[in-house]
């Protein structure tokens, strides 16, 4: 897994600070006098009262507020109270005069980290800020990336016993907003299916880093977990609640546009939420949203719940199309007759019709597998043995995530079926035909029907007729007539039984029909044959 997973500020990231004082010259003096960059601090802005400071805090990710205690409008004490109630993770340093010492004590009770007396000593200020920076970095390292990843993975897989971890307590303390992203790459099997394990790891690292960099730039924390080679979950939190929906949309578009390799990156994004207990439910939600990417226009890559609902309302019902009732039966006939092109056309036509009805890939595969189940039953009825060949493992639709890739996989399966039948038919059909011939020779005097023999052999009548002709060179009716007429010839030559009696003995109930068949097979009538046999 990516070792860059994080849930709070990185230790080497710049600390973001604002300076608040109602005297502009003091604000600018504090900003310009100290080399803040050398300390690892970025002064994001200055404010001249508490209200203006809160506006900046609401719009930016801020780590430190350096504020005077006495100001017109909202003073430092009230600002401290607002920060404690709404942004408890922001560190506040207060500047006060000797006469404001009691104010400073009250400020400390409001969560102020430290305070400095006027006039401000530059070295002392640098020392206090450095101390706060050290504290921020220590908090960033309180929970390891591995622990964050473990928590998120368990949330994805609904293991609620891991909900109240130290990480969760830390996230809850922020009182921010959260969001789940699920991302995957289009046509993954085509572009990346042959990657080695090392190459796949490098791809996933770059994929993760692209998303993380965009989130970092927006001041957002994140945790990453791959649950599939082509499925990356991202837990995003906005501890300051600074991103509005418009900002989110722009950020997601930026991530999608930033993918520079083959295929596109698809992003399914949950709604923002505030209750961490919803994490598992929303992980499931974004997973269910991902298949809708197949119906997005080529220039779209973002799936939100409203977008998925719009797609769902505009497409036909999944029940609006069902395959023909005899589809599997017709395909089994083509397979046994080894009519490869016709069998491929049947499968491609079915998939095209399912695609035309805008079925998602899981829906399409479900209907196709139902037909394959019927086909397996028919093939088993025809004594075909399934081992590994006939029972394909489940399809990974995160990797075969396009109509074209899924179609090619199913056509490859079809080819395997054809090979299986071809290899088994050589011995199986010979055994079946031999058994049928033996049965006919023993029961020729009875009303023997091909359908009854097929049922006895536990195969379909069509398949029985096909393999009988393939192996014997004759259809079943021709063979049974040959057996009966051969027996009739023997009886005509060796007995004095009347012709109509012999006809009945060999299985013909109609005398005229017997004579007709006998003449067709031998070229003479039964009486002529008897006369020749007797030497008359």
Provide the pLDDT for residue 142.
54
Each residue's pLDDT tens digit, 236-265: 988 666 678 888 999 999 999 999 999 999
pLDDT average, residue stretch 42-48:
90
Q: Locate tokens 């017709």: which residue?
A: 330
Burial (0-12, 13-18, 19+ Cβ within 10 Å), 40: middle
Write the DSSP symbol of residue 392.
Answer: P
Provide the pLDDT for residue 482.
93
CA R_g for the chain:
40
Distance of CA 343 to the CA centre of its chain: 28
CB-based contact 167:276 (threshold 8 Å): no
Q: What's the token pair of residue 239?
A: 């501890």
Residues ≥6 apart with Cβ < 8 Å to 169:
none
First-to-last alpha carbon distance for the chain, in angstroms, is: 98
pLDDT average, residue stretch 502-508:
94
Each residue's pLDDT tens digit, 156-172: 988 655 456 667 776 77
Alpha-carbon distances, residue 428 vs 180, 313, 336, 361, 527 (angstroms): 55, 51, 12, 36, 42
Give the pLDDT band (50/70/90) at residue 117.
Answer: confident
Q: What's the token pair of residue 226?
A: 């791959």
Query: Reduced to 3 states, what is the DSSP secondary structure of residue 42?
Result: strand
Helix axes 327-336, 361-381, angle to 10 degrees: 60
Please name the helix (run of DSSP H) or strand (run of DSSP E) that holds residue 501, with its range, or none.
helix 499-505
Q: What's the token pair of residue 298?
A: 């080529």
Lowest mean pLDDT among 141-145, 215-219, 295-299, 434-438: 141-145
Asked whether residue 311 carries a pLDDT value surpassing 70, the answer given is yes
CB-based contact 439:400 (threshold 8 Å): no
CB-based contact 63:90 (threshold 8 Å): yes
Query: Reduced to 3 states, what is the DSSP secondary structure of residue 248?
Result: helix
Give the pLDDT band (50/70/90) at residue 8.
Answer: very low
Provide the pLDDT for residue 111.
58
What whole-number distance in Å separates Cα of residue 134 and Cα of residue 141?
A: 11
CB-based contact 336:467 (threshold 8 Å): yes
Lowest mean pLDDT among 140-144, 385-389, 454-458: 385-389
What whole-number distance in Å separates Cα of residue 349 and Cα of residue 354?
A: 9
Predicted TM-score of the model (pTM):
0.61
Give the pLDDT band (50/70/90) at residue 12.
Answer: very low
CB-based contact 290:267 (threshold 8 Å): no
CB-based contact 207:182 (threshold 8 Å): no
Helices (H), 279-326: 279-289, 305-314
């Amino acid at each position: 897994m990516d070792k860059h997973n994080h849930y709070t500020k990185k230790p080497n990231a710049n600390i973001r600070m604002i300076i608040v004082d109602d005297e502009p010259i003091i604000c600018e003096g504090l900003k310009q006098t100290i080399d803040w960059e050398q300390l690892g601090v970025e002064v994001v802005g200055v404010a001249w009262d508490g209200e203006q400071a809160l506006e900046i805090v609401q719009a930016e990710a801020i780590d430190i507020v350096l504020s005077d205690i006495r100001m017109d409008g909202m003073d430092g004490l009230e600002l401290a109270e607002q920060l404690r109630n709404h942004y408890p993770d922001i560190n506040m340093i207060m500047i006060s005069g000797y006469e404001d010492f009691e104010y400073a004590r009250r400020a400390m009770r409001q969560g102020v980290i430290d305070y400095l007396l006027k006039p401000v000593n530059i070295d002392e200020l640098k020392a206090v800020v450095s101390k706060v920076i050290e504290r921020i970095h220590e908090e960033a390292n309180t929970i390891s990336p591995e622990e964050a990843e473990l928590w998120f993975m368990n949330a994805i897989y609904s293991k609620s016993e891991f909900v109240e971890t130290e990480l969760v307590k830390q996230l809850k303390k922020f009182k921010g907003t959260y969001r789940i992203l699920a991302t995957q790459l289009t046509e993954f099997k085509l572009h990346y299916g042959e990657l080695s394990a090392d190459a796949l790891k490098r791809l996933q690292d770059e994929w993760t880093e692209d998303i993380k960099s965009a989130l970092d730039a927006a001041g957002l924390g994140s945790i990453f977990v791959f649950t599939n080679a082509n499925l990356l979950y991202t837990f995003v939190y906005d501890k300051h609640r600074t991103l509005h929906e418009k900002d989110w949309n722009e950020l997601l578009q930026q991530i999608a546009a930033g993918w520079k390799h083959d295929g596109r990156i698809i992003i399914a994004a949950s709604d923002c939420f505030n209750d961490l207990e919803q994490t598992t439910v929303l992980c499931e939600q974004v997973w269910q949203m991902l298949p809708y990417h197949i119906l997005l226009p080529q220039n779209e890559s973002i799936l939100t719940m409203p977008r998925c609902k719009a797609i769902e309302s505009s497409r036909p019902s999944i029940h609006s199309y069902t395959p023909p009732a005899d589809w599997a039966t017709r395909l089994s006939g083509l397979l046994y007759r080894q009519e490869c092109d016709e069998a491929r056309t049947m499968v491609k036509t079915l998939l095209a019709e399912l695609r035309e009805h805008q079925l998602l890939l899981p829906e399409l595969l479900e209907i196709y597998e139902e037909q394959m189940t019927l086909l397996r039953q028919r093939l088993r009825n025809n004594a075909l043995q399934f081992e590994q060949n006939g029972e394909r493992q489940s399809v990974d639709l995160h990797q075969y995530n396009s109509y074209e890739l899924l179609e090619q996989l199913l056509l490859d399966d079809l080819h395997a079926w054809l090979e299986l039948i071809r290899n088994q038919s050589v011995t199986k059909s010979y055994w079946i035909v031999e058994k049928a011939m033996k049965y006919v020779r023993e029961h020729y005097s009875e009303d023997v029907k091909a359908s009854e023999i097929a049922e006895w052999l536990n195969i379909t009548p069509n398949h029985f007729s096909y393999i009988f002709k393939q192996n014997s060179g004759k259809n079943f009716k021709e063979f049974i007539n040959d057996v009966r007429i051969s027996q009739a010839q023997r009886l005509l030559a060796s007995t004095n039984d009347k012709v109509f009696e012999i006809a009945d003995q060999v299985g013909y109930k109609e005398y005229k029909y017997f004579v007709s068949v006998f003449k067709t097979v031998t070229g003479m009538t039964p009486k002529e044959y008897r006369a020749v046999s007797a030497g008359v």
